[in-house]
Structure 1
Amino acid sequence: MVNDFPLKGKTVLVTRNKTQAKSFRQKVEQLGGKAVLASLITFHRALPNDLVEQVRIDLAIPGWLVFTSVNGADFFFSYLKENQLIVPGHKKIAAVGEKTARRLESYNVLVDVMPHDYIAEQLADALKQHAEPSERISVIKGNLSRDVIKKELTPLGFVVKEWVVYETVPDEDGIKELKNAANQHSFDFVTFTSSSTVHTFMHVLGEGIKKWPAHQTACISIGPLTRDALLSYGITSYMPDTFTIDGMLDLMCRMSRKEDRI
């Protein structure tokens, strides 16, 4: 990305989880912009310790571990560490995208399959090409994650086990921050990195966002599911070609440069 401060003078609202938002803010600031943080969701562990023996048995069965998010990887490996479990070498690994793959590498786990587009449908298609029906598919996910892989693969004869390792809940402190920010700032960009942030945002501000002048405030969605969540409220948004934070930043930079040329 060209270091010419293309976001200078721009204010960006970042609605993702507080921990994950820090790097987003740093990148906005490196590009000359101002980032306002309002963490709308947070995550709690959901997998109880009384299921540890079932997890142990599942790990022993040849097949695939499928990770649909960075959060899933973090909560799963924290659970394994707490219960003194490891991922055996015979397990094959699939990840929904590049950041999830990199996080798995930090746990010394190499990814065997990753789709070109970072969405569940593409991950399911990749598994259809690389997995055998005799291999169990164990999906590591959050409580709000869709069951696309199970729906796509079960009719083909695969045994699909879903492990819900974390749950997504509203961040009450962040919701207060959003209300304050909405009263104190005007935003050039409002960024959404998940459907859950969209729903929480709309629950907090209701129809108020529709009154924001479209020529002054642009909504940026990380991918098609987030875009569709906004559309369900009648709100259009811009979506990057690459469904990542860097893709969103690149899109905002291109939009800002285009404004400067007008």
Structure 2
Amino acid sequence: MNKLTGKRVLVTRPKAQAAALIDRLTALGAEPVIFPTIEISALKDTSLIDQAINQLSAYQWVIFTSVNGVSAFWQRLTALGKGSNAFAGIQVAAIGPATAQALMEKGVQPSFVPDEYVAEALLPGLGEVRGQRVLLPCAEIARKALVEALQNHGALPEEIAIYHTLPSQPDLQALAELEKGVDIATFTSSSTVQNFFALLDGRAFELLKGVVIACIGPITAETAQKLGLTVDIVPKDYTVDGLVEALLKANLR
């Protein structure tokens, strides 16, 4: 027995990325309630990223901020007949262990992974970046904090959107499960929170009344708070494993 045994836990991650969280929760005796609020889709216009890939050697750094960014980038890399050797002589940074692992699985060893898994924590580990070209493959709507920080240090960041997050369309069965009630709601990105509210319109607060709100990191938590939620849990380690560990240690109501 543990604190999650018998708890109904809302999972809002996209289906393709939810397996690890669902498996952890199930192994701990929790009952995952799967209600994906976003879908990840590659952008149709790939001209800008294709141009960047074909000129990859012109960059000193490539920074990946998510697993989605790695996946979408490799789709284009493969389509252009290239592989991991395209990164020869280029330094690569990754935000978070999952992003780093995704790169290693593609044959690229990140030069730097910050201890804190937010964009702002990257800068100290990049060294002197003045005058250096930095490629940031990212979501269509991405935070500007890293770009601004790089610019302030004299770097030449080039942010190129390669995927976007779209509101998911959960089926009626998923909605019915959610309506039965949950004990804990997990949100793993700002988009998962925003689209939960978008999908459920005025019912979001009703469905989350009395529910423990757990966010994977401070940025997601800030988004949830701005939407009017009281965030109960934010792990010190901004990963799925960190989120589950924080749930196990929390005083769950």
Q: TM-score, normalised by structure 2?
A: 0.90
Alignment correspondent of 1:242: 237
- For residues 163-178 of structure 1, the aligned pairs below 5 Å read 163-172=160-169, 174=170, 176=172, 178=174
8 Å Cα contact 1:64-1:94 kept in structure 2 = yes
Matched residue type, 1:98: P
- 2:175 alignment counterpart: 179
Aligned length: 250
1:93 corresponds to which residue? Answer: 92
Name the structure 1 match of 2:226.
232
Equivalents in 2 of 1:117, 1:13: separation in Å?
Answer: 26
Structure 2 match to 1:76: 73
Distance 1:229 1:132, change over 3 A: closer
Does the aligned pair in 2 maintain the 1:6–1:253 contact within 8 Å? Answer: yes
Query: Secondary structure at 1:182's aligned position in 2?
Result: helix
State the shift of 1:234 in Å.
1.7
The answer on whether the counterparts of 1:47 and 1:163 sit within 8 Å (CA) in structure 2 is no
- Is the CA contact (8 Å cut-off) linking 2:8 and 2:32 kept in structure 1? yes
Q: Work out whether residues 43 and 166 of structure 1, in 8 Å CA contact, stay in contact via their aligned partners in 2.
A: yes
After superposition, residues 124-203 of structure 1 pair within 5 angstroms as 124-127=123-126, 130-172=127-169, 174=170, 176=172, 178-183=174-179, 185-203=180-198
User: What secondary structure is seen at the aligned counterpart in 2 of 1:140?
Assistant: strand
Contact 1:93/1:111 (8 A) holds in 2: yes
**Corresponding residue for residue 115 of structure 1:** 114
Q: How far apart, CA to CA, are the structure 1 residues paired with 2:171 and 2:140? A: 21
Query: Alignment partner of 2:223: what SS?
Result: helix
Q: Is the contact made by 1:65 and 1:137 (CA closer than 8 Å) also made in structure 2?
A: yes
Structure 1: which 5+ residue stretches go unaligned?
none
Displacement of 1:124: 3.2
Q: Distance in 1 between matches of 2:46 and 2:182?
A: 44
Query: Which amino acid is 1:249 matched to?
Result: V
Determine the C-alpha separation between the residues in 2 that align with 1:53 and 1:20. 25
Structure 2 unaligned regions, length at least 5 = none
Distance in 2 (alpha carbons) for counterparts of 1:90 and 1:187: 50
**AA in 2 matched with 1:137:** V
CA contact (8 A) 1:189 1:219 kept: yes
Indicate yes or no: 2:34 matched with 1:37: yes
